[in-house]
Amino acid sequence: MQSGLSVRKIVISGVLGAIAILLGATRLGFIPVPFIVGDATIMHVPAIIGGILEGPIVGAIIGTIFGVFSFLQVGAPMFKDPLISILPRIPIGVTAFLAYAALKKRNEYLALIVSAIVGTFTNTLLVLGMAVLRGYLTPAVAGAIVLPFGSAEAVLAAIIVVAVVSAWKHLESGHGKSRI
Partner 1 sequence: MEDFEYLRHVTIGQYLPGSSLVHRMDPRAKMIILFLMAAAVTVNMSYTANIILLVVSVVYVLAARVSLRYILGGVKPVLPFMILLAAMQLLFYGNQFIGPNLQNVVLWKWWIVNVTTGSVQLVVISILRFLQLLLLASLLTNTTTTTELSHGVERLLRPLARIGVPAHELSLVATIALRFVPILAEQLETVAKAQASRGAELAGGGPLHLVQSARRLAVLIVPLFMDAFRRSEDLILAMEARCYLGGKNRTHLIELRYNGIDYAAIAANLVLAVWLIVYRNRFPF
Helix (H) or strand (E) holding 31: strand 30-32
Instruction: Give the x/- contact pattern for partner 1 in 32-71, rule: CB under 8 A.
Output: xxx--xxx--x--x---x-----------x---x-----x
CB 112: neighbour CB atoms within 10 A?
26
Q: Which of 55, 56, 80, 101 binds partner 1 (CB under 8 A)?
A: 80
Which residue type is seen at 54? E
DSSP-assigned states of every residue in 33-69: -TTSSSEEE-TTHHHHHHHHHH-HHHHHHHHHHHHHH
Q: Which of 112, 92, 82 is nearest to 41 (CA)?
A: 92
Which residue type is seen at 135? G
Q: Which of 87, 101, 125, 159 binds partner 1 (CB under 8 A)?
A: 159
Identity of the residue, 78 or 125, whose beta carbon is nearer to partner 1 in the bound complex: 78
Segment near partner 1 (CB under 8 A), from 88-96, 98-106, 122-130, 171-179?
171-179
Q: How far is the CB of 106 from partner 1 (least distance, A)?
A: 25
Q: Are strands 39-41 and 30-32 parallel, antiparallel or unpaired?
A: antiparallel
| Contact between 143 and partner 1 per CB under 8 A | no
CB 9: neighbour CB atoms within 10 A?
16
List contacts with partner 1 (CB under 8 A).
Answer: 2-5, 7-8, 10-19, 21-23, 25-28, 31-34, 37-39, 42, 45, 49, 61, 65, 71-78, 80-83, 135-138, 140-141, 152, 155-156, 159-160, 163-164, 167-168, 171, 177-178, 180
